[in-house]
Amino acid sequence: MITMDTSIFSFRLDGQLAVVTGGGMGIGAAISVALASAGARIVVVDRDESAASGTVENLCTSGHPAEAVILDISDEASVTHEMERLVARVGAPNILINNAGLQHRKLLLDTNAQEWDRMHAVNTRGAFLMLRECSKAMIAAGIQGRVVNICSLGILHPMIWGLAAYASSKGGVMALTRNAAFELAAHGITVNAVLPGGVATPGAMAATGPAVAGPALRGSPLGQCEPVDIAAAVVFLASPAARFITAQSLCVDAGFLLS
């Protein structure tokens, strides 16, 4: 007779604290709602106070505990200070979702170093700082945590013109994912990445710059993903069901790589 621990089949996150960067809108807001629906308490980290407050109000109105931390994740001193305050107030996080990011489009030959640096400061440096501080807190508390980094399908295949800086910054996040997973495995912390394809979000729609050419304009075989599709993948990787998955990348692209 085969016996097994069926608790790993659960996607419940009851009693866990989840920090979601960029949780004020779009994919981040959907991730916050999905994790809360699975039982987690949510901390929405965002530099946009109005957006963060909107997500928190939505969650609290629905009966899910949540709070906001207003923070520029590219600022090391601010990240260290705010995460120390958070841990002192509510304890160490069980889950970190590195979702915050910029996605302004500009052709490679027109991109200047300042624009390149700003993209990497938020998308790559910010993910590193949040991962470092949250992992320190997890280890100090003896928590075998989960980190999920939101990357981009653009690191595997060019999608549209104007994403050289963006895709490069997200490529750095993928490298961070693998190396952090390698170092943090000894502490029982898993680190994985979700790679969204084209997703209609307020941030993507408001992104400046050209979108005049590229395979993404043809669409994907299954249509266009919605933020909830990315959120579902995140819940899986944060759940007990993914306890032995680390350093992996999960594409949620509606079959884009097939086209």
> Of the residues 166, 203, 238, 251, which is catalytic?
166
HEC string for the chain: CCCCCHHHHCCCCCCCEEEEECCCCHHHHHHHHHHHHCCCEEEEEECCHHHHHHHHHHHHHCCCCEEEEECCCCCHHHHHHHHHHHHHHHCCCCEEEECCCCCCCCCHHHCCHHHHHHHHHHHHHHHHHHHHHHHHHHHHHCCCCEEEEECCHHHCCCCCCCCHHHHHHHHHHHHHHHHHHHHHHHHCCEEEEEEECCECCHHHHHCCCCCCCCHHHHCCCCCCECHHHHHHHHHHHHCHHHCCCCCCEEEECCCHHHC
Residue 56 near residue 64, CB atoms below 8 Å? no
Residue 34 near residue 236, CB atoms below 8 Å? no
Q: Catalytic residue at 166?
A: yes
Residue 173 near residue 161, CB atoms below 8 Å? no
* CA atoms of 248 and 259, how far apart (whole Å): 23
Q: Which residues are catalytic?
A: 166
